[in-house]
Amino acid sequence: MAVSLKGRHFLKLEDFTKEELIQILDTADFIKMRHKIGIREEMLKGKTLAMIFEKSSTRTRVSFEVGMAQLGGEALHLSSRDIQIGRGETIADTSRVLSRYVDGIMIRTYGQEIVEEMAKYSDVPVINALTDEFHPCQIMADFQTMREKFHKLEGLKIAYIGDAANVANSLLIGSSIMGIDISLACPKGYQPTDEILATANKFAKKSGAKIVITDNIEEAVKGSDALYTDIWVSMGKEEEMKKRFEDLKDYQINSKVLGMAKENAIVMHCLPAHRGEEITDEVLEGAQSVVFDEAENRLHAQKAIMALIMG
């Protein structure tokens, strides 16, 4: 039986049960199906979302703004240059003021503690649109894409290759909640933290998901239904570029690596992609790539999140 998610913050996947995440995915599928036949579900008519960007964006900016419009509401784009938070106003004060004006706050920023503090002082739902630690909205779009391709999630295996940063953290925890086996192939120094692993293992114990952390790509990829990667140098890590390129140069999804997975395996990437680095152009543009399906599903998954917590 569906439960109401109204008024909830969407900060990280571990805050939700498997059943609640499935409810979001079912809503995303419904909204997408209606969208494809030209029906707009104006679930947020007359409501406003404040969108705070301390990090630049393509997919997040467009998908949230278009999503609000398609749900009948409005979105306000607020860069750190546009509001006083960029000139020293506290997160708490910004949150308390904004939540008296709008019906929801979306923030794309650096530290997870920033979105946590925003939520603590907000009277309206706060959505984490990316931090250095987590990217929960992306993973909901990924899960929607996987369900479209395999018609299930539980029992699948996904292999992540590269740097275990925010996307990998959310993918690891989300997979553990949903009962998806997950292997991460990352060089030493780029593997998940003990804290992230402890959280994932807690959920895996309940769901039965198997977790493997290794520096061996073949070990991680063997028997996988999906391969996933992300850029080697995330925003804020530019000063480490030379070292990261050297450490991660062998952790690439290419045709050889794809051949280690199941014959019908799909290839995933959160974008933007640096072709020829973490993924080859051949694989990204190949028949097994669902990268642009994922990007499209950011719109529908986020519409579901907004509709359920703001509606």
235 labelled binding-site residue: yes
146 is in an annotated binding site: no
Q: What is the C-alpha to C-alpha distance for residues 231 and 76, in angstroms, rounded to an integer?
A: 29
Q: Give Cα separations from 156 to 104, 179, 229, 270 (angstroms).
A: 34, 8, 17, 19
The identity of residue 310, as a single letter, is M
Query: What are φ and ψ of residue 214, in 5° steps?
Result: -150, 165
- Say whether 40 is catalytic: no
Catalytic residue among 191, 230, 244, 269: 230
User: Catalytic one among 8, 9, 23, 108?
Assistant: 108
Token pair of 259 as six digits? 């051949």
Beta bridge partners of 211: 182
Residues, the chain, total? 311
Answer yes or no: 123 catalytic. no
> Is 230 annotated to bind ligand?
yes
Q: Which of 9, 135, 147, 269 is catalytic?
A: 135
β-pairing, 126-128 vs 211-214, is unpaired
To the query of whether residue 186 is one of the catalytic residues in this protein, the response is: no
**144 is an active site residue:** no
Please tell me whether 128 is known to bind a ligand.
no
Q: Is 225 a catalytic residue?
A: no
Determine whether the annotation assigns residue 60 to a binding site: yes
Gap between the Cα atoms of 282 and 305, Å rounded: 34
Active-site residue among 147, 270, 300, 302? Answer: 270
How far, CA to CA in Å, does 203 sit from each of 97, 206, 281?
Answer: 36, 5, 35
Asked if 23 is an active-site residue, the reply is: no
Q: Choose the catalytic residue: 8, 147, 244, 298.
A: 298
145 is in an annotated binding site: no
Torsion of CA 145, 151, 155, 159, to 10 degrees: -30
Under a CB-based contact definition with an 8 Å cutoff, are residues 152 and 130 in contact?
A: no
CB 143 within 8 A of CB 300: no
Is 298 annotated among the ligand-binding residues? Answer: yes
Known binding residue 186? Answer is no
First to last CA, the chain: 18
Binding residues: 57-60, 84, 108, 135-138, 166, 230, 234-235, 270-271, 298
Binding residues for carbamoyl phosphate: 57-60, 84, 108, 135-138, 270-271, 298
Active site residues: 108, 135, 138, 230, 270, 298
Binding residues for L-ornithine: 166, 230, 234-235
